Chains A and B, each alone.
Chain A
Amino acid sequence: MMKDPFGGIILNIAFRMLVPFSVVYAVYVLILGESSPGGGFQAGVVMGFGIVLARLILGEDTVQFNIQAKNSLALAGFGTFIYALAGWLTLFGGGKFLDYSFLPFTAEHAHELHALGILMIETGVTICVMMTILNIMDVLVRRSEDDGSVQ
């Protein structure tokens, strides 16, 4: 966390309170998405909102967990890959695509495998949505600076 103030007391306090709360609350929404409102998409948007807020307050150069445009695009594809990997694991286990009872993990009941598979695909959706939001913001900011040309 930042030691010295960086832009007025309101921005300072807002950064210190809102950004960690957004990221932790996104993990809460992701984990409890099965039994309560929420899920992968909402968790991804809340987590991306935390990083977008940090980037808006601190500026793009000084923010510590900054993600470049090409990395965010690659990580969005990686999230989609995690989703597909859950389906492929069930295929290798002998079931149909995304049939969670055939996941190749050891569990006592089928409910645990079901919860594990849903958590896996929701993690993939979270990473994909979060990185897509960061990439959209990168494109918007760069277009406004660079006379319409996207690098």
Chain B
Amino acid sequence: MQIYTIEALLLVFLIFITASIIYCRDILSSVYIYSAFSFCAVLLYLMMGSPDVAFTEVVVGTVSTIFYVISLKKIDRWCK
């Protein structure tokens, strides 16, 4: 029963993190919050019993965070 509680808590975290990614005015901050989204998704995948998907999410989340930060050199950081 406790595992379901943790899972529900992580799902609520995912919803709040997604809302804060969408409504954040600073794109650099939303990139960092996206890595938190990736971490919660990894924990959920591990609880659901698929370590392969969790491993993929770890590596792709890390590399895509690097790419987003690099592409911020081109575009403006603040949403107008």
Most chain B CB within 10 A, of A42, A56, A148, is at A42
B59 touches A45 (CB 8 A): yes
B71 touches A137 (CB 8 A): no
Stretch at the interface among A46-54, A85-93, A102-110: A46-54
B59 touches A49 (CB 8 A): yes
Partner of A37, one of B55, B63, B74: B55
Q: How far is the CA of A148 from the CA of B71 in the complex (A)?
A: 12
Number of chain B residues close to chain A: CB under 8 A:
15
Instruction: Kindly state whether residue A74 has any CB partner on chain B within 8 Å.
Output: no
- Chain A residues near B74 (CB-CB < 8 A): 140, 143-144, 148
Partner of A39, one of B52, B66, B70: B52
Contact A144-B73, Cβ < 8 Å, known A37-B52, A39-B52, A42-B55: yes
- Chain A residues near B59 (CB-CB < 8 A): 42, 45-46, 49
Instruction: Kindly state whether residue A41 has any CB partner on chain B within 8 Å.
Output: yes
| Chain B, interface SS category | helix
Partner of A38, one of B52, B60, B62, B70: B52
Q: How far is the CB of B56 from chain A (nearest CB, A)?
A: 6
Residue interface bits B30-65, CB-to-A below 8 A is 1, else 0: 000000000000000000000110111001101100
Instruction: Kindly state whether residue B23 has any CB partner on chain A within 8 Å.
Output: no
- Chain B residues near A48 (CB-CB < 8 A): 63
Q: How far is the CB of A98 from chain B (nearest CB, A)?
A: 20
B63 touches A144 (CB 8 A): no
| Contacts A/B (CB < 8 Å), 10 sampled | A42-B55, A45-B56, A45-B59, A45-B60, A48-B63, A56-B66, A136-B67, A140-B67, A144-B71, A144-B73
18 additional A-B residue pairs with CB within 8 Å, beyond A49-B63, A137-B70, A141-B70: A37-B54, A38-B55, A41-B56, A42-B55, A42-B59, A45-B63, A46-B59, A48-B63, A49-B62, A52-B63, A56-B66, A137-B67, A140-B67, A140-B71, A140-B74, A144-B70, A144-B71, A144-B73
